Amino acid sequence: MSGHNKWSSIKHKKGAADAKRGKIFSRVSKEIIIAAKEGGGDPALNARLRSAVAAAKAANMPNDNIDRAIKKGCGGGEGAAMESLSYEGYAAGGVAIIVNCLSDNRNRTAADIRSFFTRYNCNLGGSGAVSWKFHRKARFVVEGPEADEEKLFNLLLEGGADVEDISVEDEVAEILAPPEAFADILGIFEKNGIQPTESSITLIPENTTVISDINVAKQVQKFLDVLEDYDDAQEVVNDMELSDEVAAQLAAEEEE
């Protein structure tokens, strides 16, 4: 399916870019901070935090780092308070972009994001410019033998979880559900010994913008990579879908 070309190719590239240990720690730490900020610092009562802490431990993050991130999210610890900020706009080909940031300096972050959009000839819009195209969803990724669509569907159905979609490709399953179902699904996975490789509450586009020009695809991907690498960026979402031809070309180039 062409929609999965977008997902798998971009996620593969992102996974390779995130392979550096420090980058993984930074991402997981920010997820812990924002989870604690939104739902409190007790993992037993905060499913999103519990999931973020599990991801941190899987990445071998020291317990001291985890504790500091939780305290920072709850308003304690050293340093200035972290603030959630969101920026919206369009990249090449009309691809909608949302950059959600976690920052201790609003002015610095705003200036940096504006600079990125200008440098890559993208259009930064105001609040609501593209957010209407996205819906917040609970999202889980399960890899390996557990990535069986029928088994996952039956498991979640029997557990009473509200699931909207399960898609599987190349032993990678993506589960989408309403945000309020996050804790239920995580609990079912924990009970059955399933450890998702990704679990978050994120923005998913209702419809996609199909890119059939490989040069435009590369231009957008380069911009996305810059945003992903930005220290203050917590979440970068887009509605780009690569055509089958472009996805195949990019995959072939990565293998060279």
Task: Report, as an integer, the average pLDDT of 89-113.
Answer: 95
Please, how many CA atoms are within 13 Å of residue 26, restricted to the half-sphere of its CB? 17
Hey, is 239 helix, strand or coil? coil
Q: For the segment 25-71, what is each residue's pLDDT rounded down to a tens digit?
A: 877 887 888 889 888 999 989 988 998 898 888 778 899 999 998 98
pLDDT value, residue 19: 47
Hey, is 100 helix, strand or coil? strand
Amino acid in the structure at residue 66: I
Q: For the segment 86-98, what is each residue's pLDDT rounded down to a tens digit?
A: 999 999 999 999 9
pLDDT band at 6 (very low <50, low <70, confident <90, very high): very low
- Mean pLDDT across the chain: 86
Contact 159, 188 (CB under 8 A): yes
For residue 51 the two structure tokens come to: 């999931």
For residue 220 the two structure tokens come to: 């957008």
Angle of CA points 90, 92, 94, to nearest 5° = 55
pLDDT value, residue 3: 39
Burial class of 170 by CB neighbour count within 10 A (0 to 12, 13 to 18, 19+): exposed
Task: Report, as an integer, the average pLDDT of 107-114.
Answer: 97
Packing angle of the helix pair 182-191, 47-58 (nearest 10 deg): 50
Residue 12 has pLDDT above 50, yes or no: no
pLDDT value, residue 170: 86
pLDDT value, residue 10: 44
Token pair 């996609």 is found at: 208
Domains and CATH numbers, the chain: 2-73 (1.10.10.200), 83-133+208-250 (3.30.70.980), 134-205 (3.30.70.980)
